[in-house]
Amino acid sequence: MPILRDTGGADNDAGSQDANAHELWPVVAAVPDPEMPPLTIADLGILRSVDEVDGRVVVTITPTYSGCPAVEYIEQLIVEAVTDTGRAADQLEVRRELSPAWTTDWITPEGREKLEMSGISPPRTLLDGTPVRIGLITCPQCGSTNTVEISRFGSTACKALHRCNDCSEPFDHVKEL
Amino acid sequence: MGTRPLPTYVLRLADDNLILGQRLGELIAKMPELEEDIAVANLALDHVGQARNLYQYASELDPENRSEDDFAMLRDEREFLNAVLVEQPNGDFAHTMVRQFFVDAYQVPLYTALSESSDERLAAIAAKAFKEASYHRDHSSSWIVTLGNGTSESHQRTQAAVDALWPFTADLFAADDVEHELVAAGVAVDPAGIRPAFDTTVTEVMAEANITMPADPYQRLGGRTGFHTEHLGHLLAEMQVLYRSHPGVTW
């Protein structure tokens, strides 16, 4: 069995999530997010790194929210994806790292595009991690910026519910974090 | 105090979150509107998630190798170290939001300071939790202002909730040798240091809500050393019965 453990260490560079050179990066990066399946874990920025440490594969992910119930399932999906390539499960370790804390700014441009195509309004950019929100929330159906928040919490921990005043459609918005 | 202050401190932080998460969980499907039902479930999820991160750390520090579930499910009332505020039973909606607001007003400066801890693990957990606590505070404080300035009924209920819950707030800031030793080492947050931030938030929001702060200085303390109000035992009985009746059960 792979070892699943929590590491509080901040050995990643803040904000670094570039595809790294490891041969298994594309395999792990393609794992879908269970709650928003059009997006991969790389699109969401929760895949931090894939490394080889003493002959073992070490995959590091970070949760979106402390209580995100999808994390354990994502870890399983990573184990399945890697073992499907022929790697033994005991040569794999999935690490959960809390620091640096996930921010919606790590959602990639492709991820944002996929959110919009799925009818979910992507988060706005933060300024240096402070909760200063830039721009307006745009309706993913009709593109209007005449929208209103109808529920601060939504169907998953990372979303709020909004409504478009022009086309009257309700839609999910990924909360800036 | 004992020779190992860090595990005690971690449990104090964890227990606040677990017990509040359990109280909020009791309200799911009972809130006055669908949006608040979703909100209360999300609040509970964040608090239980924060508790899990802390219990996992406590588990690694534990010489008896207790698991996170053991900490949550196999300790008795006297072993829980949460502040007495979070165990107070659910009342009406105003009561829920006032309890939440007091906790949020405390946790925002707590996690801000703790994210600078010399203990990397605590700093990481706090940096994550800070973002969640800030969002909670925005939610609860806007409800306090809305209810305080709403109908005479909503105002009166909010005032009653503040009067009832205020005597349990000082316990959030209770400190003994555990904190003092860890503060000196740069690990823990000095509760006295974040009290002004809490007071400022509370004063501002209550003023905007036209709610009067209670004049009676009485405060009930003791949670941090396991002396609880009569409500915690009932909560634990419900929370722990399945785990204790069916040891090792999975689903």
Complex ipTM: 0.81
Sign of torsion over alpha carbons A89, A90, A96, A100: negative
Does residue A177 belong to the interface with chain B, where contact is any CB pair within 8 Å? yes
Ordered DSSP codes for B153-212: HHHHHHHHHHHHHGGGSGGGG---HHHHHHHHTT-S--HHHHHHHHHHHHHHHHHHTT-P
Q: Let me know if B249 is exposed, middle or buried by CB neighbors in 10 A (0-12, 13-18, 19+).
A: exposed
Ordered DSSP codes for B29-44: T-SSSHHHHHHHHHHH
Nearest residue in A to B140, CA atom:
A152
In this structure, how many other beta carbons lie within 10 angstroms of the beta carbon of residue A102? 25
Q: Which residues of B touch A172 (CB under 8 A)?
A: none
Tokens of A157: 């921990």
Residue of A11, A148, A152 to mutate when probing chain B, most B C-beta within 10 A? A152
pLDDT digits (tens, 9 = 90+) for B82-124: 999 999 999 999 999 999 999 999 999 999 999 999 999 999 9
Residue A128: beta bridge partners? none
Residue B198, pLDDT > 70, answer yes
Tokens of B165: 């819950």
* Proportion of chain A above pLDDT 90, given as a percent: 65
Quick one: DSSP state of residue A132?
A: E
A101 to B49: CB separation less than 8 angstroms, yes or no = no
Q: What is the pLDDT of residue A3?
A: 41
Q: What is the pLDDT of residue A21?
A: 76
Mean pLDDT, rounded, of chain A? 85
* Closest-CA residue to A146 (of A164, A158, A159): A164
| CA B35 – CA B23 distance, rounded (Å) | 18
**Banded model confidence at residue B249, pLDDT cuts 50, 70, 90:** confident
| CA B116 – CA A163 distance, rounded (Å) | 39
Considering the entire predicted model, what is its pTM? 0.90
Given the structure tokens 């050995």, which residue do they identify? A11
Residue B185, pLDDT > 60, answer yes
| CA B94 – CA B96 distance, rounded (Å) | 5
Tokens of B177: 């040798």
**Banded model confidence at residue B143, pLDDT cuts 50, 70, 90:** very high
Does residue A97 belong to the interface with chain B, where contact is any CB pair within 8 Å? yes
Q: What is the pLDDT of residue A132?
A: 55
Residue A159, pLDDT > 80, answer yes
A8 to B125: CB separation less than 8 angstroms, yes or no = yes
Average pLDDT value for residue range A171-175: 93
Q: At what angle do helices B93-114 and B120-148 cross, to 10 degrees?
A: 150
Residue A13, pLDDT > 60, answer no
**Banded model confidence at residue A136, pLDDT cuts 50, 70, 90:** confident
pLDDT digits (tens, 9 = 90+) for A68-100: 888 999 999 999 999 999 999 899 999 999 989
Tokens of B18: 């677990």
Peptide bond into B247 cis (omega under 30): no
Q: What share of chain B is helix, strand, coil (3-state, %, to 5)?
A: 70, 0, 30
Q: Which residues of A touch B129 (CB under 8 A)?
A: 66
A176 vs B115 pLDDT, higher one = B115
pLDDT digits (tens, 9 = 90+) for B206-231: 999 999 999 999 999 999 999 999 99
Residue B2, pLDDT > 50, answer no
In this structure, how many other beta carbons lie within 10 angstroms of the beta carbon of residue B122? 26
Tokens of A151: 């529920």
pLDDT digits (tens, 9 = 90+) for B4-53: 899 999 999 999 999 999 999 999 999 999 999 999 999 999 999 999 99
Cα angle at A103 between B185 and A108, to 5 degrees?
Answer: 145
| CA B248 – CA B251 distance, rounded (Å) | 10
Q: What is the pLDDT of residue A12?
A: 39
B144 neighbors B138 (Cβ within 8 angstroms): no
Residue of B22, B28, B122, B135 to mutate when probing chain A, most A C-beta within 10 A? B135
> Shortest CB distance from B120 goes to which of A9, A131, A151?
A9
Q: What is the pLDDT of residue A6?
A: 43
**Banded model confidence at residue A2, pLDDT cuts 50, 70, 90:** very low
Sign of torsion over alpha carbons B204, B205, B210, B215: negative
Does residue B246 belong to the interface with chain A, where contact is any CB pair within 8 Å? no
Q: Which residues of A touch B122 (CB under 8 A)?
A: 8
Residue A4, pLDDT > 60, answer no
**Banded model confidence at residue A155, pLDDT cuts 50, 70, 90:** confident
**Banded model confidence at residue B251, pLDDT cuts 50, 70, 90:** confident
Average pLDDT value for residue range B120-136: 96
Q: What is the pLDDT of residue B1?
A: 41
Q: Which residues of B touch A175 (CB under 8 A)?
A: 135
